[in-house]
Amino acid sequence: MTIAERQAEIIDEFEMFDDWMDKYEHIIELGKDLPLIDAAYKDEDHKIRGCQSQVWLHAAPEGDKLRFTADSDAIITKGLISLMVRVLDDQPAAEIANTELSFIEKIGLHEHLSPTRSNGLRSMVKQMKLYGIAQAAQQNAQANG
Partner 1 sequence: MQNTAAKTFPIERIRADFPLLQTEMNGKPLVFLDSAASSQKPQQVLDAIEQYYENDNANVHRGVYALSQRATDAFEAARKTMAAYINAPDEHEVIWVRGCTEGINLIASTYGQRFKTGDEIIVSHMEHHSNIVPWQMLCERSGAILKVIPVLDNGELDMVAYKELLNERTVFVSVVHVSNALGTVNPVVDICNMAHEVGAVVLIDGAQATPHGKVDVQAIGCDFYTFSGHKMCGPTGQGILWGKRELLESMPPYHGGGEMIDKVSFEGTTYNVIPFKFEAGTPNMAGAIGLASAADYMTSLDLDAIEQYEAELLAYATGEMTKIEGLKVIGTAPEKHSVLSFLVEGMHPYDLGTLLDKQGVAVRTGHHCCQPLMERFGIPGTVRASFAFYNTREDVDRLVAATTRAVKMLS
Residue 28 as a binder of partner 1 (CB under 8 A): the answer is yes
Give the amino acid at 8.
Answer: A
Q: Which of residues 55-94 bind partner 1 (CB under 8 A)?
A: 73-77
- Say whether 111 is catalytic: no
Residue 1 as a binder of partner 1 (CB under 8 A): the answer is no
Q: Please choose, from the candidates 86, 99, 107, 105, the residue with its C-alpha nearest in 3D space to the C-alpha of residue 126.
A: 99
Which segment (60-68, 91-99, 112-120, 133-141) binds partner 1 by CB under 8 A? 112-120
| Distance in angstroms (rounded) separating the CA atoms of residues 31 and 11 | 17
| Distance in angstroms (rounded) separating the CA atoms of residues 55 and 63 | 26
Q: Which of residues 4-23 bind partner 1 (CB under 8 A)?
A: 20-21
Q: Please choose, from the candidates 30, 32, 80, the residue with its C-alpha nearest in 3D space to the C-alpha of residue 52.
A: 80
Catalytic amino acids?
A: 51
Chain positions contacting partner 1, by CB under 8 A? 20-21, 24-25, 28, 51-54, 73-77, 112, 118-119
